[in-house]
Structure 1
Amino acid sequence: MEATRTALVLGATGGVGGSIARALVGRGWHVRGLARDVTAARRKGIAQIEWVAGDALKRADVISAAHGASVIVHGVNPPKYKNWDKLVLPMIDNTIAAARAAGGARVVLPGTIYNYDVAKTPVISADTPQQAKSRKGKIRVALEQRLEQAAPDVPALIVRAGDFFGPGVGSSWFAQGMVTPGKPLTRIINPARGGGHSWAYLPDLTEAIARLLEAPDRLQPFERLGFEGFYDESGTALIDAIGRVVGRKLPVYRFPWWLMTLMAPFGGFPREVAEIAPVWRYPGRFDNGRLEKLIGSEPRTPLDDAIRDSLIDMGCLKATSMPGSLMIGSREEAGASSSGHATT
C-alpha cells in the first residue's frame, strides 16, 4: 500500500471522523479505521474503510494501526465522553507516539473555538493568544501544545471551525439544541444571545481538510488554520434558512441560559453548557486567509442546501417524488442515519 496515500482515522464511526474518512475515500485514499468492535463498525461505517480492531486508549493498538500511514486523523473522544478531562491528553499522546513510529505521519486535529477568550477575540487567527476560560477549553489548549511541541518530527494540521452541522452530526447545537431529530419541525430553539456566531457545514469542512492533505509540501510542519464556514452575523440567519426550507415560519424560543447558570453549581450538563455560554454571547469569526492561500476558495455549500440536507439526514424532512419539493417526515421515512460528535 502506498504510504503517502494511507490515512488512519481515529473516530471514523463518528460525525467528524466519518466525514473526513468519506472525503479521503472519495479522493482515492486508502483509509484505515480503528474500532473496538469491528463488526459494528463495518455495519454502521463506510464500506471502503479497512477496519482494524483496537482501542485509541491503548498506545500499542494505535501504533499498530498506524503502520504505513502518512496521516493520522485524531477525531476521537473517550467512550461516551466519560472521564473526558482525564483521558483526552493521554489519547493525543498515543496518537503522537503512533505518528512518530510511522516515520512522521501528519496528525490532523479538528480544532474548536473553546481555546479562546471570545470576549477579547472577535476574529481568531493562527496568532491569536489562546486564553481559554472553561475547563475543557484549557485542556484543548494543552492538547494543541503537545502537538506543537512534537513538531517537526511529527507534523500537525489543526483546522479550526465553528459549531458543526450537516449529515452525520448527531451531537451538536444544531441537532440537539435548535431542532429535535426524528420529529416533525414544530419549533426552533435559538441559543444565540447576539449576532456573530460561526457554523461549519461538515461536508465543506472535511472537503477542505482533504484538499489540504493533498498538498503536503505546502504545509508547514505545524499548521493552525481557520475555516470560516458560515458566519451568522445577525444570529437569526440559520433560523430564517430553516423557515425557507420547510416553507413556513416556525415559532422560535430562546434557549434557557438563565436556567443553566442557576443549575451549574450542581454539575452535569448545566455546568458544561454554562461554561461555554460566552461563545453565544460574543462574536467569533475565523480568519481563513492562510487556508485559502493553500487550497483556493473555501468550499461553500449554499446555506439553504446545507440546512435541507441536514434536516433530511436528521429525519425532520423527506424528499418527495417532486424535484425540489419537501415535506415533513419521520426519521424512518427519511432513511437517515447519523453518528455523534460533540462540539466540546
Structure 2
Amino acid sequence: MTQDRIALVLGATGGIGGEVARRLRDCGWTVRALHRNATAKIGAKTGDTDGFTWIQGDAMRGEDVVAAARGASLIVHAVNPPGYRNWGTLVLPMLDATIAAARASGARILLPGTLYNYGPDAFPLIDESAPQNPVTRKGAIRRDMERRLRDAAETGVRVLIVRAGDYFGPKAGNSWFSQGMVTPGRAIAGIGYPGRRGVGHQWAYLPDVAETMVRLVEREETLAPFATFHMDGHWDADGTRMVEAIRRAAGNPRARVRALPWWAVALASPFVPFFRELREVRYLWTRPVRLDNARLVQALGAEPHTPLDEAVRATLAGLGCLPATLNAP
C-alpha cells in the first residue's frame, strides 16, 4: 500500500467494528477509534486502550471524521445510531461524513454489508451482481447507502463492501444469536429459534468476517475502485445445525427448542426499536436466502472459516452462558 497502514474505525465499540479493529491491530495497523466520549476509553496516562488510539469526535460531524482520518489509508464504517434510534434519518448523514473524510484523505472505505439490500427477485442464491430491490425500510436505506458509495467511487473514492449473513460471536452485541436464541449470562436450558422448521439460514462468525475483511484490505492492489464480496459463513440448511451446536457446547443435548414468540415482538415493536428492526427482517427466517461466495474464494483462495462447534463454544463463553469448567480459556 502506498500510504501508512493507518485505519480509522467508526464503531469500534460495536460488534463488527471492534472485531475488525482488533484484527487490524494484530496485523500491525495503527488503529484510530472515533468516540463521542473518548476520555472514558482512554487510560489514565497511556492515552491508548486496547491498542487503539481513541479520538474524541462524533461520526455525525463531517469535520470530526475528516480530522480523525487525516493520513489514514482505510476508514471502517461500522457505526450505527445507539439502540437503532432514528436509524432512518441518521445513517445516510453519517455515511456522508465518512465519504467526505475518504475524499480528503484518499482512504478506502470498508463497509460491512448485509442481506437486507435484496428482495425476493434475487432469492434464493445471491451473487454480487444481483439486483437490489428491497422490500423493507431497512433494506431501502442499505440500498441507498451502497448507491451513495458507488456514486462516490465514480468520482475517485475507493470502496470495499463485504456482505455476510447474521452475525454471531463472543462480542457480537445485538444479534439474533444473543437476543433471540440464548440469554446472555444464563446457562443453556432452552434455545429459541426464530425460523421455520426446514428453512435454511446463513450465519457469519464475527472473527471470520473480520479476518476476511482484513485479508481483502491487504490486497489493495487487486481490488476494484468499487469492490463487493459475499461470504458464505455457516449455512444451516434446515435450522438444526446451529441448535445442535449450541446443545453440544452447553453439554445439554436435551435443551428444549422453543419458537420465537413473534406476537410478542410485534407488540413490543412500537416501544423497543431493536424489536422493530427484528420484526422487519422476519422474512429472512421464512425462506432460504444465501449469499454466493464464489468471487471471494477466487480472490482469497479460500474463505476464512472457523468450525461451527468451535465458533459456537467461543460465542457462548463470551456471552457467559457456559459453566465455569467449560468457560475456561
Per the normalisation by structure 1, the TM-score is 0.88
Query: What residue identity is the alignment partner of 2:36?
Result: R
Match of residue 282 from structure 1:
287
Alpha carbons 1:155, 1:221 under 8 Å: kept: yes
Describe the shift of the 1:110–1:269 C-alpha distance in structure 2 as closer, same or farther (beyond 3 A): closer
Distance 1:179 1:305 in 2: 17
| 1:165 aligns with one of 164, 168, 186 | 168
Q: 1:261, CA displacement in angstroms?
A: 5.0
Q: 1:79, CA displacement in angstroms?
A: 2.9
Q: 1:264, CA displacement in angstroms?
A: 6.1
3-state SS of paired residue (2:213) = helix
Alpha carbons 2:119, 2:132 under 8 Å: kept: yes
Match of residue 132 from structure 2:
130
| 1:218 aligns with one of 222, 232, 236 | 222
- Can you list the C-alpha shifts for 1:69-88, whole angstroms capped at 9, x where unaligned? 01000000123322110010
Match of residue 57 from structure 1:
60
Match of residue 37 from structure 1:
37
3-state SS of paired residue (1:170) = coil
- Asked whether 1:233 is paired with 2:233, we answer no
Q: 1:213, CA displacement in angstroms?
A: 0.6
Match of residue 123 from structure 2:
121
Query: What residue identity is the alignment partner of 1:292?
Result: V
Q: 1:3, CA displacement in angstroms?
A: 3.1
Q: How does 1:8-47 map to 2 (within 5 A)?
A: 8-42=8-42, 46-47=49-50
Query: What residue identity is the alignment partner of 2:117?
Result: N
Distance 1:270 1:54 in 2: 29
Match of residue 339 from structure 1:
none
Query: What residue identity is the alignment partner of 2:247?
Result: G
Distance 1:83 1:69 in 2: 29
- Can you list the C-alpha shifts for 1:94-129, whole angstroms capped at 9, x where unaligned? 000000000x21100000111111475111111111
| 1:255 aligns with one of 255, 260, 265 | 260
Distance 1:83 1:57 in 2: 13
Alpha carbons 1:63, 1:97 under 8 Å: kept: yes
Alpha carbons 2:121, 2:133 under 8 Å: kept: no
Match of residue 194 from structure 2:
191
| 2:316 aligns with one of 291, 311, 315 | 311
Query: What residue identity is the alignment partner of 1:199?
Result: W
Q: Structure 2 unaligned runs (5+)?
A: none
Distance 2:60 2:30 in 1: 23
Alpha carbons 1:121, 1:128 under 8 Å: kept: no
Distance 1:174 1:267 in 2: 18
Distance 2:49 2:322 in 1: 24
3-state SS of paired residue (2:42) = helix
Q: Structure 1 unaligned runs (5+)?
A: 321-325, 328-333, 336-344
- Can you list the C-alpha shifts for 1:297-326, whole angstroms capped at 9, x where unaligned? 111111000000000000011453xxxxx2
3-state SS of paired residue (1:19) = helix
| RMSD between aligned residues | 2.0
Alpha carbons 1:161, 1:228 under 8 Å: kept: yes
Alpha carbons 2:84, 2:273 under 8 Å: kept: no
Q: 1:203, CA displacement in angstroms?
A: 0.2
Match of residue 110 from structure 1:
112
Distance 2:211 2:202 in 1: 18
3-state SS of paired residue (2:4) = helix
Alpha carbons 1:13, 1:41 under 8 Å: kept: no
Q: 1:267, CA displacement in angstroms?
A: 8.4
3-state SS of paired residue (1:316) = coil
- Asked whether 1:4 is paired with 2:9, we answer no
- Asked whether 1:244 is paired with 2:254, we answer no
Query: What residue identity is the alignment partner of 1:8?
Result: L
| 1:273 aligns with one of 260, 266, 278 | 278
Q: 1:195, CA displacement in angstroms?
A: 1.9
What is the percent sequence identity of the aligned residues?
51
Describe the shift of the 1:118–1:243 C-alpha distance in structure 2 as closer, same or farther (beyond 3 A): farther
